[in-house]
């Protein structure tokens, strides 16, 4: 049995820290939080209607604005919370974000109009950053050689939560006769559960004795950004993460419209377009769930850059049958194949970032990488919807193919492969 340095690490009270306990606890917390965050997706637009917005086009507009505002504020604040994590502790940041989301979700249930709902969503985004905090905590505890494996499992449990959340939200809405406010309160209870689970189960290793005492505390926010700027091998990953998330999110606002277009006048399918849309999202998530841990484990063995390159090219190829789909079934097959490769992009990229970053600055670095993904989540639906409206959905899907290939070219050109013994100065091992 391996006896890693991380397994022998002690917390600030001198108690042993188990990386396995940390990993599986954070996987459970990740699933709970993603379930809580995604459970409101099926009825958010309907709740906006209950708040006094009755024009269908206005409801669509407000739903997009309310959803995007959360991502925008998260992108702005994630680097700030990442730097605080390096100063005050990564466990504390996970607890902060779970509690903040619980409080914000409760306040959403009390909102009286759409403006209050928007303000609360922005507040939630400003105090969130859960994924960055979770990644930083796990990456600071897990043995270096198991980082891809660990982040792959975190991604898997996040996908489980994302799949269960909308289904659970829909069931609760029906069970409580479309009383959306009660669902917000129950969602807040899930986030509160995650808070107590983190508080009682997680032990964070104390700072390394090799780290100069007070170095991080003396460094201001601008100084911390300058320190990250010196990690040139990490900087190139920001575009990788932004483009990957942008590509995934760009299709979401138009997917139901494209399915309606593929269904045509088929009377048997016209009545189940909503179900078909949900199925197209679900098959991507199921494939991600299956392949993400496998790809994460393989990346630890054959190289992060190689797995990342294969995943980006595979994702691009899987958009070809989607763009050319003659019917909804071919499109759904393309969505499933896409999920198999999507599972190898974000976990592998985050693992590579972790390997190239010294442990004492991983909080702020993961804060910046989280901003990249949040910006992709913010810009993808907006730009994807605009391109589809102006040029058609198939053209938008073709543009996504080009974006994946551009991301692949960037990885081969700019992204170094991590080599043993290197942190932040990995040598380029271009193919």
**Helix/strand/coil (H/E/C) assignment for every residue in the chain:** CCCCCCCCCEECCCCECCHHHHHHHHHHHHHHHHHHHHCCCCCHHHHHHHCCCCCHHHHHHHHHHHHHHHHHHHHHHHHHHHHHHHHHCHHHHHHHHHHHHHHHHHHHHHCCCHHHHHHHHHHHHHCCCHHHHHHHHHHCCCCHHHHHHHHHHHHHHHHHHHHHHHHHHHHHHHHCCCCHHHHHHHHHHHHHHHHHHHHHHCCCECCCCCCCCCHHHHCCHHHHHHHHHCCHHHHCHHHHHHHHHHHHHHCHHHHHHHHHHHHCCCHHHHCCHHHHHHHHHHHHHHHHHHHHHHHHHHHHHHCHHHHHHHHHHHHHHHHHHHHCCCCHHHHHHHHHHHHHHHCCCHHHHHHHHHHHCCHHHHHHHHHHHHHHHHHHHHHHHHHHHHHHHHHCHHHHHHHHHHHHHHHHHHHHHHCCCCCCCCCCCCCCCCC
Nearest residue to 63 via CA among 103, 279, 55: 55
Show pLDDT as tens, one digit a residue, over the chain (431 residues).
344 444 456 555 556 667 788 888 888 998 888 888 777 765 676 788 788 887 766 776 777 677 777 778 877 777 777 667 767 777 888 888 889 889 998 999 899 898 999 899 888 888 876 777 777 788 778 787 777 778 778 877 877 777 777 667 767 766 777 677 888 888 899 889 999 998 888 877 665 544 444 444 444 445 555 655 666 667 788 888 888 888 887 777 677 678 778 887 666 666 666 567 667 777 887 887 777 777 766 776 778 888 889 999 999 999 999 999 998 899 999 989 998 888 788 778 878 887 777 776 776 777 777 778 878 878 887 787 778 777 888 998 999 999 999 999 998 888 777 655 555 444 444 44
Question: d(Cα 354, Cα 370) in Å, to the nearest integer?
Answer: 13
Gap between the Cα atoms of 278 and 416, Å rounded: 38
**Residue 34, phi then psi, degrees to nearest 5:** -65, -35
User: Which two tokens mark 3?
Assistant: 């006896």
CA terminus-to-terminus distance, the chain: 35
Listed residue (163, 194, 255, 266) closest to 25, CA to CA: 194
């Amino acid at each position: 049995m391996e006896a890693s340095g991380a397994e022998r690490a002690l917390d600030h009270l001198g108690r042993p820290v188990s990386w396995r306990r940390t990993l599986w606890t954070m996987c459970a917390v990740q699933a709970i939080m993603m379930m809580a965050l995604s459970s409101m997706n099926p009825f958010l637009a309907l709740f906006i209607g209950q708040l006094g917005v009755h024009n269908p086009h206005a409801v669509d507009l407000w739903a997009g604005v309310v959803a995007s505002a959360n991502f925008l504020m998260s992108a702005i604040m994630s680097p700030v919370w990442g730097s605080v994590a390096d100063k005050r502790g990564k466990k504390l940041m996970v607890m902060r974000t779970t509690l903040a989301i619980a409080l914000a979700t409760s306040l959403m249930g009390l909102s009286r109009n759409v403006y209050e709902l928007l303000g609360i969503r922005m507040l939630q985004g400003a105090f969130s950053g859960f994924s960055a905090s979770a990644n930083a905590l796990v990456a600071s505890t897990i043995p270096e050689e198991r980082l891809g494996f660990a982040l792959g499992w975190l991604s898997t449990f996040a996908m489980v939560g994302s799949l269960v959340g909308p289904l659970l939200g829909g069931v609760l809405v029906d069970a409580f006769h479309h009383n959306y406010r009660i669902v917000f309160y129950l969602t807040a209870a899930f986030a509160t559960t995650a808070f107590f689970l983190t508080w009682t189960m997680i032990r964070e290793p104390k700072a390394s004795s090799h780290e100069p005492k007070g170095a991080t505390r003396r460094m201001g926010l601008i100084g911390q950004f300058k320190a990250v700027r010196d990690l040139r091998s990490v900087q190139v990953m920001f575009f990788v993460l932004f483009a990957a998330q942008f590509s995934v999110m760009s299709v979401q606002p138009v997917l139901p419209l494209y399915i309606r277009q593929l269904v045509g006048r088929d009377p048997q399918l016209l009545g189940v377009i909503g179900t078909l849309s949900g199925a197209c999202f679900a098959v991507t998530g199921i494939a991600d769930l299956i392949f993400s841990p496998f790809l994460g484990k393989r990346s630890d063995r054959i190289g992060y850059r190689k797995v990342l390159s294969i995943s980006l090219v595979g994702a691009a190829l899987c958009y070809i049958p989607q763009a050319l789909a003659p019917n909804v079934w071919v499109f759904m097959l393309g969505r499933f194949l896409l999920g198999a490769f999507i599972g190898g992009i974000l976990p592998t990229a985050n693992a590579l970032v972790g390997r190239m970053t010294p442990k004492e600055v991983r909080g702020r670095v993961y804060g910046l990488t989280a901003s990249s993904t949040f910006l992709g989540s913010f810009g993808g639906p907006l730009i994807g919807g605009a391109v589809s409206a102006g040029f058609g959905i198939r053209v938008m899907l073709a543009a996504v193919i080009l974006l994946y290939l551009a991301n692949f070219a960037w990885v081969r050109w700019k992204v170094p492969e991590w080599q043993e013994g290197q942190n932040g100065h990995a040598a380029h091992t271009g193919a």
